[in-house]
Amino acid sequence: MTSAQESSIYDQVERDDDVVRVLGTDGSLDSQHDPGLSAEEAVHLYRHMLLTRMIDERLVTLQRQGRIGFHIGSLGEEAAIIGSAYAMRKQDWLFPCYREFGAALLRGMPLQRYVDNMFGNANDPVKGRQMPDHYTCKAAQFGSVSSPIGTQITQAVGFAWAAKIQKKDLVTLAYFGEGATSSNEFHNGLNFAGVFKTPTVFLCRNNGWAISVPTERQTATRTFAEKGIAYGIPSLRVDGNDLFAVIAVTRDAVRRASQGEGPTLIEAITYRMGGHSTSDDPTRYRDKTLLDPWHERDPLTRIKRYLDKQGLFTDAEEQKLKAEIDARLKDAVEIAEKTPAPALESLFEDVYEKLSWNLREQRDELLAGPRAPSAHH
C-alpha cells in the first residue's frame, strides 16, 4: 500500500461511513486497501489462524472432560486478532482482553507455556495464581490478561504515554470487546489518549455480544467507532473477519501513532460463534439462526478461498498441517498434565525483593505442614 493510500483510509471512511473490506467472502481481492502481503505471509497467517481454531476446539474438549477448569475462546474472531497483532511492529506492546491467545502465540509465546497456563502447573507463566487464559509473556511484548472489564485500555494508554515522554518509537495496542465501551476505563483511556495524543491503537472487537447482552442493548449510538470522535480520535469500522482489511487499517493506525499523529479507534465487526466461555450456554439467549450468515463469513473459510484462488495452499497441505497441529497439541497437553503443581513456597515469590520477617514466618509455618488442633478450639 502506498503512503497516499494509507493516509486516505481514515478520511474516506469518515466521509462515506464505509466498512473497510479487502477480501470478499468468495476470496476475491479488492486492491484499494490491499496490504500487499506476500504469498508466504498469507500462508503463514492462515497457519496461525488454523492453529488458533484447533486450540479452541481442543481446550473446549479438555474442559468438558474435566481436565482443565475453564476456557474463553476466539471462535470466529481469528482474523481480527491475528491480523491486528501481525500489523504491530516488534517493539510495540499488546494489551489483551482475554480472547487474544492467538496474538500471543503469533508474537512468540511458546505453545507449551500457554498450555501450561491452562493447567496452572509449575511452568505456568503466572505460576498457577490465576484462572486459565490469564497469562502474560514479556518476551512477546504481551501484557497481562485480567478479568475486570476494560483495565487494559488505561494500561495501554499509560504505557504509550510513558513511551512518548521517553521519546521511544513504540506503539501500544489495546484489545477489548464492545461491552468494554460501557466501562469507566474506556472513557478515561480514550479521553486521556485524545488529549495527550498517545501512540495507542484501540481495537474494539464488536462480536455482537457482551456475554448475553446484545449490541443493541449496549449502546444507543449507531456504531461503536463513532464514540471515538467525541474524544477527538480518528475512528473507523473494518470487516473484522477480513484478515487483509484488519492488517491494512491497523498498519495505518500504527503509522499515524509512530509519526506523532496520536491514537486511533478501530471497530472490528465480527461475531462470537461460540459461547462467552465454557461456563456459558448461548442457546439460552441467542437463536441459533443468528449464526447462519456468519458461517459464510467465517474468517478461516474466507482466507482459505483466497489461497485456493491463488494456488498457494492445497487441500493436501491443509490436511498435513492439521495433523501436525494435532500432534503438537497432544504433546503439549501430555507434558502439561505430567508437570507438577507450583511449589507451595512460590506463593511468597515475585512481590518483594526480600521477604519481611512476618512473611518468612508464614512461609515456614505453611511448609511445616498442618498443626495439631489447639486445646482452645
What is the chain's length? 377
CB of 244 closer than 8 Å to CB of 83: yes
Residue 276 is among the residues annotated as catalytic for this protein: yes
Alpha helices by DSSP H, the chain: 3-16, 39-64, 78-87, 101-106, 111-119, 151-165, 184-196, 243-258, 292-296, 299-310, 315-338, 357-368
CA-closest candidate to residue 176, choices 193, 190, 164, 195:
190
The pLDDT, as a whole number, for residue 2 is 40
Q: Which amino acid is at 372?
A: A
pLDDT tens sequence for the chain (377 residues):
444 444 445 444 443 458 999 999 999 998 788 999 999 999 999 999 999 999 999 999 999 999 999 999 999 999 999 999 999 999 999 999 999 999 999 999 999 999 999 999 999 999 999 999 999 999 999 999 999 999 999 999 999 999 999 999 999 999 999 999 999 999 999 999 999 999 999 999 999 999 999 999 999 999 999 999 999 999 999 999 999 999 999 999 999 999 999 999 999 999 999 999 999 999 999 999 999 999 999 999 999 999 999 999 999 999 999 999 999 999 999 999 999 999 999 999 998 999 999 999 999 999 998 765 655 44
CB of 319 closer than 8 Å to CB of 98: no
- The catalytic position among 276, 297, 302, 306 is 276
Cβ neighbours of residue 339 closer than 8 Å, sequence gap 6 or more: 116, 119, 121, 122, 123
The pLDDT, as a whole number, for residue 31 is 76
The pLDDT, as a whole number, for residue 370 is 77
- The catalytic position among 89, 217, 285, 295 is 285
CA-closest candidate to residue 106, choices 147, 72, 137, 62:
137
Going from N- to C-terminal start, the domains of the chain cover 3-342, 351-377
CATH T-level assignment (fold) for domain 3-342: Rossmann fold (3.40.50)
Query: What are the phi and psi torsion angles at 226 (to 5°)?
Result: -65, -15
Query: What are the phi and psi torsion angles at 365 (to 5°)?
Result: -65, -40
- The catalytic position among 107, 113, 237, 272 is 272
